[in-house]
């Protein structure tokens, strides 16, 4: 049983529009920060410890990095049941982070 999960490259088609996206965050039309969405693979540990680890099915997910102009920042992995709701927010042009809701203008690919 491996210490690290085996290499995997899962693909979630719901994430196609958002992989590697960046955008400008605004509140009432005023720029307040930036957001970056980075693809990552998450493999849950389902049992064992260290080199006796047993791994579950890998899933593709997004790490959301938010950096505000006032110096605050937050990063979060969007997993499981939260994924559909967060994808809906991104698609509608909003991001929730640091206890606030922001408008996001995605940069052109």
Contact 79, 61 (CB under 8 A): yes
Report strand pairing: 59-68 vs 30-42: antiparallel
Inside any domain, residue 20: yes
The 10s digit of each residue's pLDDT in 27-67 is 999 999 999 999 999 999 899 887 788 899 999 999 999 99
Inside any domain, residue 3: no
Q: Based on the structure, what is the number of domains in the chain? A: 1
Q: Which residue range(s) make up the domain with 49?
A: 13-106
Inside any domain, residue 41: yes
Question: pTM higher than 0.75 for the full model?
Answer: yes
């Amino acid at each position: 049983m491996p210490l690290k999960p085996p290499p995997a490259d899962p693909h979630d088609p719901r994430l196609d529009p958002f992989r590697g996206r960046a955008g400008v965050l605004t509140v009432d039309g005023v720029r307040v920060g930036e957001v970056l969405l980075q693809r990552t693979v998450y493999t849950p540990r389902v049992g064992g410890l260290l080199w006796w680890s047993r791994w579950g099915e890998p899933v593709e997910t997004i790490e959301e990095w938010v950096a505000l102009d006032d110096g605050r920042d937050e990063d979060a992995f969007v997993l499981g049941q939260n994924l559909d709701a967060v994808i809906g927010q991104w698609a509608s042009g909003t991001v929730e982070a640091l206890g606030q809701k922001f408008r996001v203008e995605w940069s052109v690919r």
